[in-house]
Chains A and B, each alone.
Chain A
């Protein structure tokens, strides 16, 4: 049964990002699958999230981990069947878990039948489904995204003897969204999955749908028209469907993607994430508060999506050169950790496996304005493998136990889609779900408590934010408010204990109730409110007037 889709459900969502291939292998072939994922839904439910985001699971040559789709209406055979997907979806919904899936709309695999037809002749009806040119000199003002591997956004097709446009890998030709037939077909794809019951889509690489000469070919007005058309159809036929934009842009450039509440419901806040890491290492809130102050207001029905880590590199496109150099030096001293303009590492290794820093970063993720996303495995502090190519080092098998293959699969280790992490610090024998479920103080159990508090406090999902500016710059403090509900969040970004005086006079008369231990703190008066905080400590206080 599809879950009832109340308006704005996504604002109080906590999203868990999963790659089917990496989560659990039910049939012992070394590759995760939908039946395996369905078996682990209890775990997902108990973790305390309420939404699952599935990375691409469609038929694909897998030259870009599924972001090169060759069939939009089916399931990659390695992951199961469409019926397996349906069973998984029903089981998730039974548990109150919503499911959002990927819509890689900008491009297909070069193996997709549409492209095969398109390249077959200039007179083929699908010729105009892609962007073809006799020269590679059009759209010269367009940047190259995968600078490490691509030299041009045009690739020569020897079959049709013409160049085709691609913003990502050359095996991923861009669809031509100027063609109404393409737009209609993309809606048909969405409709197919919505009829099965999915709750929303993450639209990949959305700024690049349309090309125009003399522009950067990003964020064009015509792209917004395409989005509005898809949104209107979704609203009309499947109300409550959530559309999430993946657009790695500055906040001001992202703002148009919310339109007047008639484009995307949510968009990733890319520039915030590296600045959280930067603020932590600088022990200075400035990078965080600055980017949030530069973040424009968005329509009331819209929401930012926040994350610490995901399946891609920690992108450093939306930072200054000074900031990028700093991030590289601090977080990727080994050059093999760097990829494109980013850092291909997981959360725990980035934070030197420091439990206090991991907790603080998750605390901020859950309390800043937006819908948080947890990348699978980060809830137990999984490590990465920088010796695997591309971004595969952060896509290794989920570590369920200390048993063979980390409990991920019964297959021979050699046949796993990826070697599991085995090193003494992050290997599955040291870091796994089973062992962490046995102890209350494990990271996993701590995360469950954090999510429980977060999800039971709607002010985090929908409330306003007001930054306090204590003179101690190592402390990041803000008040979240929704109606009469107010929560004070105080984060110590420093590795040492700090004293901080907060100007809370406008909340005078309220007492503070610490939200994890429920202990009462002194009433706010006329004087500055003094708090002392341990290294990397954070507080969430509910303000109550009693």
Chain B
């Protein structure tokens, strides 16, 4: 059950009014007024079109927006104060907003949403990103139906992405999750997904919420929990996903939330993942991952410089994390001009696994370990961009698949270095 202090009294009062629901739609927000309106419209339309009979609630867990985000969400309510201009609905739709305690953190928002799902005994809990401006009415149905009708516990999304978007997902999170846990979930760190009520309750009761990393990487932990708990998992194709433009994407923070969480998840699940070899596909509804090839501007020179500088400046750190041969190879690559630059898949997989083992052994502050991986990831990104500069969609997928194969092939090496105390 949810902790008593997690939910504010006023929010609890609103949940009492909502009562038991079939579907809970969660929206974690913080100052999203600029993008949330199409999302809200799509949710409301999705409910009215696809789930008119189901008891549904929209729960907005907000981190203290000051731009009117919460008002936009609550406006989606449909009640019995009759007004001819309102949309027609068979039943009441509550759209409620609560501000969770603490600083804005997606993990706190998710925890609040899951707590509400638990208290309201939701059969399906779907979380949508307030930044998904490309959302379509059918997204809700595609995420919810597998849970609601086919008893899946986790429905993970698949998107149509530009080939140079989601590079971290394609080069690290997906290949490593797949190799470690043997399950081909394309988006292990998804901002949109649906889960069953029983998985929501189970996940809510996990210890991860008590530390910052757990909260920041809740989506990764959720995917891992579903896999290791042997819940039924599937994927559903949603459509085009466009990353919202941000002034300065914080790659270090993103790596901490995702890669740090993934590394951390290995500690408690060793007995589960260590015997796994290869990987299994998960049922996929609709199209498989799609890639678009519109041109994108990438500063390759800067990526190479950041990689080379990182390799040079962090050498003392790498000496504690990497094997001598790996470090030596990286130093060699760092000398290459951009035209001949290549950070091969095998070396990348070895690098990541050595980092994971160092993380496990806590050879230094764990945050510093993840931080040290950032320049190396930039190097790998550069290779990905170079390799796929002229690639079509199929080539990109072949490249990702090849990298995944390399991670799976190298997994015994991870087991080897995992216990290595040297």
| Residues of A196-245 whose CB lies within 8 A of B | none
B45 to chain A, nearest CB (A): 15
B106 to chain A, nearest CB (A): 28
B92: chain A residues at CB < 8 Å are: 284-286, 473
B52: chain A residues at CB < 8 Å are: 322
Given contacts A286-B91, A290-B80, contact A326 B53 (CB under 8 A): yes
B344 at the interface (CB under 8 A from A): no
| Residues of B39-74 whose CB lies within 8 A of A | 52-53, 55
B224 to chain A, nearest CB (A): 35
Given contacts A282-B90, A284-B91, A326-B90, contact A471 B17 (CB under 8 A): yes
Q: Range of interface residues on chain B?
A: 10 to 19
B422 at the interface (CB under 8 A from A): no
Bound-state Cα–Cα, A152 to B53, Å = 36
A58 to chain B, nearest CB (A): 42
B324 at the interface (CB under 8 A from A): no
Of B17, B53, B82, which one neighbours A473 at CB under 8 angstroms?
B17
A519 at the interface (CB under 8 A from B): no
A500: chain B residues at CB < 8 Å are: 17
Q: Mark A273-291 against chain B: 1 for CB-CB distance below 8 A, else 0.
A: 0000010001111110110
B79: chain A residues at CB < 8 Å are: 286, 469, 473
Given contacts A469-B79, A473-B94, contact A320 B19 (CB under 8 A): no
Bound-state Cα–Cα, A323 to B81, Å = 19
A188 at the interface (CB under 8 A from B): no
Count of chain A residues with a beta carbon within 8 Å of a chain B beta carbon: 28
A29 at the interface (CB under 8 A from B): no
A496: chain B residues at CB < 8 Å are: 19-20
Cross-chain pair count, CB within 8 angstroms: 57
Q: Mark B119-162 against chain A: 1 for CB-CB distance below 8 A, else 0.
A: 00000000000000000000000000000000000000000000
Bound-state Cα–Cα, A127 to B82, Å = 50
> Is the beta-carbon distance between B13 and A501 smaller than 8 angstroms?
yes
Bound-state Cα–Cα, A286 to B19, Å = 15
Bound-state Cα–Cα, A94 to B128, Å = 70
A319 to chain B, nearest CB (A): 10
B55: chain A residues at CB < 8 Å are: 283
Name the residue on B nearest A471 (C-beta): B17
A522 at the interface (CB under 8 A from B): no
B16 at the interface (CB under 8 A from A): yes
Interface pairs (29), CB distance under 8 Å:
A278-B90, A282-B53, A282-B90, A285-B92, A286-B79, A286-B80, A286-B89, A286-B91, A287-B91, A289-B80, A289-B82, A293-B82, A294-B82, A322-B52, A322-B88, A322-B90, A323-B90, A467-B80, A469-B81, A471-B14, A471-B17, A472-B19, A473-B79, A473-B80, A473-B94, A474-B19, A494-B19, A496-B19, A499-B16
Known: A326-B53, A467-B80, A473-B79. 15 other contacts (CB 8 A): A282-B90, A285-B80, A286-B90, A290-B82, A293-B82, A294-B82, A322-B52, A322-B88, A471-B13, A471-B14, A471-B17, A472-B16, A473-B80, A474-B19, A496-B19
Closest 7 CB pairs of A and B: A471-B17, A473-B92, A293-B82, A289-B80, A472-B17, A284-B91, A286-B80
